[in-house]
Amino acid sequence: MESLDLRVLSDALAWHSAGHAVTLVTVVQTWGSAPRPPGALLAVRDDGVVSGSVSGGCVEDDLIARTKAALETSGRTPNNTKPALVAYGVSQEEASRFGLPCGGTLRLVQEPLLDTAWVAQLLARTAAHQLVARTLTLATGAVLLASAVRGQTMQFDGSTLTTVFGPKWRLLLIGAGQLSQAVAQMALMLDFEVLVCDPREEYAATLIAGMTGIRRIEGMPDDVVRELVPDAHTAIVALTHDPKLDDMALLEALQSSAFYVGALGSRRNQDARKQRLAEHFNLSPDELARLHGPVGLALGAKTPAEIAVAIMAEIVQVKNGVLGAATITTNCALT
Q: What is the pLDDT of residues 316-331, one digit of tens each?
A: 999 988 875 444 444 4
Q: Provide the pLDDT confidence category of residue 238 given band limits of 50, 70 and 90.
A: very high
Superfamily classification of domain 170-319: NAD(P)-binding Rossmann-like Domain (3.40.50.720)
Supply φ then ψ for residue 281, to 5 degrees: -125, 5
Q: What is the pLDDT of residues 276-286, one digit of tens each?
A: 988 888 888 99
Q: Is the pLDDT of residue 220 over 50?
A: yes
Count of helices and strands (H, E) across the chain = 11, 15
Amino acid at position 120, single letter: A
Strand, helix or coil at 245? helix
Task: Give CA–CA dist 93/73, Å, rounded.
Answer: 33
Cβ neighbours of 218 (radius 10 Å):
11
Q: Which of 298, 280, 198 is nearest to 238 (CA)?
A: 198
Supply φ then ψ for residue 290, to 5 degrees: -75, -15
Q: Which of 332, 173, 334 is nearest to 249 (CA)?
A: 173
Task: Give CA–CA dist 96/259, Å, rounded.
Answer: 41
Domain boundaries, the chain: 3-165, 170-319
Q: What is the pLDDT of residues 242-300, one digit of tens each?
A: 888 999 999 999 999 999 999 998 889 889 999 998 888 888 899 999 999 899 998 98
What pLDDT shows up at residue 93? 60
Task: Give CA–CA dist 6/306, Å, rounded.
Answer: 30
What pLDDT shows up at residue 70? 72
Please say whether the beta carbons of 46 and 81 come within 8 A. Answer: no
Long-range pairs for 182-186: beta carbons < 8 A, 24 or more residues apart = 182/304, 182/305, 182/307, 182/308, 183/237, 183/239, 183/308, 183/311, 183/312, 184/211, 184/214, 185/211, 185/308, 186/308, 186/309, 186/312
Q: Which of 303, 270, 313, 309 is nearest to 178 (CA)?
A: 303
First to last CA, the chain: 39
Q: Is the pLDDT of residue 13 over 90?
A: yes
Q: What is the pLDDT of residues 33-91, one digit of tens each?
A: 556 778 889 999 988 899 988 876 667 888 888 787 777 544 455 556 789 998 887 55
Q: Which of 9, 75, 26, 76 is nearest to 48 (CA)?
A: 76
Q: What is the pLDDT of residues 81-129, one digit of tens each?
A: 789 998 887 555 655 565 555 556 788 999 999 999 999 999 999 988 8
Ramachandran category for residue 280: left, alpha or beta (phi over 0 → left; psi -120 to 50 → alpha): alpha
Answer whether 0.85 is exceeded by the pTM: no
